[in-house]
Structure 1
Amino acid sequence: MSQHAGPRAESTHHRLYEFAKAALTRIFVHPYATVCELYCGGGVDAEKWDEAQIGHYIGIDGSSSGINQRREAWESQRKAYTADFFELDPCMEDVEIHLKDQTNPADLVCCLKNLQLCFETEERARKLLLNVSSLLKPGGYFFGITPDSSTIWAKYQKNVEAYHNRSSGMKPNIVPNCIRSENYMITFEVEDEKFPLFGKKYQLKFANDISPEIHCLVHFPSFIRLAREAGLEYVEIQNLTEFYDDNRAQFAGMIMNFGPNLVDPRGRLLPRSYDVLGLYTTFIFQKPDPDVAPPLTTPLLHDVTYIQDEAKRVASASDDCLEG
């Protein structure tokens, strides 16, 4: 999401994304915790850590301008917590080298943007998750937000199916590569009917944006597999609309602080909010603590079945009509 204030900051999708970040923070972050934020660049929402009363903050970002913005935001605050900042790309470099003598320093590691960029290759995704594992204390959580590839792919497949039904066998080699709603347009860079595990790029452009964001689909079974190999156990991957509905009693009042016209008087998501939030998902993993309880067992998910089941689930839950 954008790191700059301005007209975009007032857009529906930006306000909803900021709400989702604040909601996750409220659930996971406890007072005096040590929190590590991956791809922390920018200082727009830095105050959420102050409000959460954390004890120590570790900011990691590959952009020198981004990390400087974040440092300046911290320095301009009341300094309620201590902080370290590291300029490095966590899907390219070893974090441990920069941490020096600190071993597993973080109670929580979050990645609230850019996780999807790490899924350009398996090597990048693996490096990120190994770094997360080295940062986390036993029992600690890795959580964040990323575009929901299951939802996006289900919409894409629905679009392809509708196109083929309309064309009645005409132009069999042409696959539509766009998904449109009144709020956004998603364009896949390569027309394809297959979901590769890594490197499936697309552009996401919201209605009020000048330029699109470039993302990669996150193949969730591969995400779970690589996390397990790095010593992290899967807890949950949940679409943000479901996440909101499950926690509506807690968050209905809170979401109203992020602007008008997001929910109805009963706190239910309005159609535009549902459409935008539905593009994203939470993810939660935990580093097991062998001294507290036996490690959780992660269910083995067969890739094809998982994606098909997700596609059916999303297709049945979604009533939006997509154009080719």
Structure 2
Amino acid sequence: MEAMKRAASPSSDAANKRRYHSQDDTEARAVAEHYNARPEVGREKRKESKIIRLKSFNNWIKSVLIGRYIARGDYVLDMGCGKGGDLLKMVKARIAELVGADIASISIEQAQDRYNGLRNPPFRARFLALDCYSYPLAPHLPDSYTVDVVTMQFCMHYAFETEEKARMMLQNVSHTLRDGGYFIGTIPNANWIVKKVRDQKSRGQETAFGNDIYWITFEEEDTKEFPSYGAKYMFHLEDAVDCPEYLVHFPTFTSLAKEYNLELEYKQTFHQLYQEAAQESHFNNLLYRMNVVGGHGQALSEAEWEAAGLYLAFAFRKRRP
């Protein structure tokens, strides 16, 4: 994928680090505060996590998507970049430039610090503390700035709190993405979640389910009907997430995306993607290098494998209007 000529390259100085603190969006503030409050731990401490294999597996999934859709010399927008956990993946992809945006300002500071800590950073970067689901991204970038790929990992579902937020998110994706560019991401699998909670109800059980590393809880009245937007549930994943999330009704997502010139090209659950990508030698070797599978063949626990089934991966391509 050949990178297009861009406007003047953005700098990564402190003056360009925007901060957004919503005064009237309680849910957005709760999500930002949740991720801001999560401490940055060292690599050795992360190895002690109860879900270390699952975290490695999720990173492998992201590496597969990045390996397939991001090419050397690309300009990339990481919307919902968090603490910069995918920076090394971008180093390996040999991109030319990165824009990282996230609602959580402390996470953005940590992402900037991670980037600054790279030895001879091989790409330029800027980081923006901005709610890309409530405000346009364009005013924070040079005029006519475009990227080859927009990536949104484990975060897009927050936009589906309302149709307005989903539309703003897609507007930011489409406006920033060049024609022919890719929009990739990972989200919870709403079909799997809804089927699970309906199975629970059909057996007269509670509208909550999970195992010893994750659980999902719906309010009883929220399971009578699942709207296209605002279908809220509480999600807990051990040592990772503990906040409200929203179902993404995929047909609604794809239909809405078409209005922004984004056509679906790929959709697979994590389990399906694993079965497919593990057949490719490069990605199979990566399973071992990333410690998804240990030296003695140890893989994800049964509980971790079930939790991995919560998610799906997607890729859209932007067509000409």
Report what 1:275 is aligned to.
Answer: 306
Report what 1:177 is aligned to.
Answer: 207
Percent of aligned pairs with the same amino acid: 28
Distance 1:263 1:188 in 2: 40
Q: Which amino acid aligns with 2:227?
A: P
Would the alpha carbon gap of residues 210 and 21 (structure 1) be closer, same or farther in structure 2, given more than 3 Å must change?
A: closer
Matched, 1:87 2:129: yes
Does the residue aligned with 1:281 lie in a helix, a strand or coil? strand
Q: Aligned ranges for residues 141-152 of structure 1 at < 5 Å?
A: 141-152=182-193
Matched, 1:68 2:98: no
Report what 1:240 is aligned to.
Answer: 270
Distance 1:24 1:17 in 2: 11
Report what 2:233 is aligned to.
Answer: 202
Matched, 1:22 2:54: no
Q: After superposition, what is the alpha-carbon deviation per residue over 1:164-188, rounded to whole angstroms, capped at 9, x for unaligned? A: xxxxxxxxxxx72101234421111
Does the residue aligned with 1:155 lie in a helix, a strand or coil? helix
Q: Which amino acid aligns with 2:235?
A: L
Q: Which amino acid aligns with 2:117?
A: S
Report what 1:308 is aligned to.
Answer: none
Structure 2 segments unaligned to the other structure (5+ residues): 1-34
Distance 1:179 1:93 in 2: 35
Matched, 1:159 2:195: no
Q: CA deviation at 1:194?
A: 1.7
1:4 to 31, 40, 44: 40
Distance 2:294 2:218 in 1: 28
Does the residue aligned with 2:279 lie in a helix, a strand or coil? helix
Q: Aligned ranges for residues 100-139 of structure 1 at < 5 Å?
A: 100-103=142-145, 105-139=146-180
2:244 to 193, 200, 214: 214
Please give the TM-score of this superposition, normalised by the length of structure 2. Answer: 0.78
Q: After superposition, what is the alpha-carbon deviation per residue over 1:116-169, rounded to whole angstroms, capped at 9, x for unaligned? A: 111000100010001100010100000011111111111111111222xxxxxx
2:79 to 24, 38, 51: 38
Would the alpha carbon gap of residues 271 and 111 (structure 1) be closer, same or farther in structure 2, given more than 3 Å must change?
A: same
Is the Cα–Cα contact under 8 Å of residues 292 and 299 in structure 2 kept in the other structure? no
Report what 2:4 is aligned to.
Answer: none
Q: After superposition, what is the alpha-carbon deviation per residue over 1:246-268, rounded to whole angstroms, capped at 9, x for unaligned? A: 11122332122333657995x99
1:254 to 270, 274, 286: 286
Q: CA deviation at 1:271?
A: 3.8
Q: CA deviation at 1:49?
A: 0.7
Q: Which amino acid aligns with 2:233?
A: Y
Q: After superposition, what is the alpha-carbon deviation per residue over 1:210-249, rounded to whole angstroms, capped at 9, x for unaligned? A: 8723211111111112111111112222111001111112
Would the alpha carbon gap of residues 51 and 255 (structure 1) be closer, same or farther in structure 2, given more than 3 Å must change?
A: same
Does the residue aligned with 1:212 lie in a helix, a strand or coil? strand
Q: After superposition, what is the alpha-carbon deviation per residue over 1:52-85, rounded to whole angstroms, capped at 9, x for unaligned? A: 1001111111222122111111111121011122
Is the Cα–Cα contact under 8 Å of residues 71 and 93 in structure 2 kept in the other structure? yes
Is the Cα–Cα contact under 8 Å of residues 3 and 43 in structure 1 kept in the other structure? no
Please give the TM-score of this superposition, normalised by the length of structure 1. Answer: 0.77
The list of structure 1 runs, each at least 4 consecutive aligned residues, that deviate by more than 6 angstroms after superposition, is 267-270
RMSD: 2.6
Does the residue aligned with 2:226 lie in a helix, a strand or coil? coil
Is the Cα–Cα contact under 8 Å of residues 120 and 198 in structure 1 kept in the other structure? yes
Distance 1:128 1:109 in 2: 11
1:231 to 252, 255, 261: 261
Is the Cα–Cα contact under 8 Å of residues 263 and 269 in structure 1 kept in the other structure? no
Structure 1 segments unaligned to the other structure (5+ residues): 164-174, 291-324
Distance 1:57 1:72 in 2: 14
